[in-house]
Structure 1
């Protein structure tokens, strides 16, 4: 299985994305992933999933968990340590979808 760093190198760039807002079924923003140190990998994965699947669906979330590779294993062992991975796991388990709204950098 490829490591997270290898998977990241295959994803589209995110320099044009300031953040991605995640919206629930009511359209409420439940989380924001910003383009800043510590969350750029998550932003790249969620950006790719949103572009590929149109939303963060259970299928997209499964793919995202694969992309997070060794970090997904760490998240399973340490709930709460990786909230963006925990969220993907929840979407798979609860069969829910989150819509995304990109905030573009100026």
Structure 2
């Protein structure tokens, strides 16, 4: 998959990502094989599902490079997440991995 060149607007970036029809959820899996987070394809989470699905296709897993790119895709929302830790847990996770937390596998679960 070709990587997008993220702009400043999350809404504009989101329009460049593949559709999420048919995705039930995203599971994030640590090095021991444990699911450490789940993002359901539900209202209020669909933007995160789209970003993480895209990161899986473009990078294969969530490592520091993928996380940094994901933060750029989230655009202006990333600044809000940095200002309000905990308000955007799916962005907080990207910040953590970009800052050196262990990489995670991204599983796209169909449904």
Structure 1 segments of 4 or more deviating over 6 A?
none
In 2, the alpha carbon distance for the partners of 1:43 and 1:99 equals 14
Number of residue-to-residue matches in the alignment? 105
Q: Which of 23, 35, 40 pairs up with 2:46?
A: 40
Shift of 1:103: 1.1
SS in 2 for 1:94: coil
The runs of 5 or more residues in structure 2 that have no matched partner are: 1-6
The C-alpha deviation readout for 1:42-70, integer Å capped at 9, x for no partner, is 00000000011110111000000000011
Q: Which residue number in structure 2 is paired with residue 31 of structure 1?
A: 37
Per-residue deviation at 1:13? 0.2
The structure with more helix, counted as a fraction of residues? 1
The partner residue of 1:20 within 22, 26, 30 is 26
- How large is the Cα RMSD of the aligned pairs? 0.9
TM-score (norm 2): 0.91
Q: TM-score, normalised by structure 1?
A: 0.95
Cα shift at 1:20: 0.9
- State the distance in 1 between where 2:9 and 2:91 align: 15
Unaligned runs of 5+ in 1: none
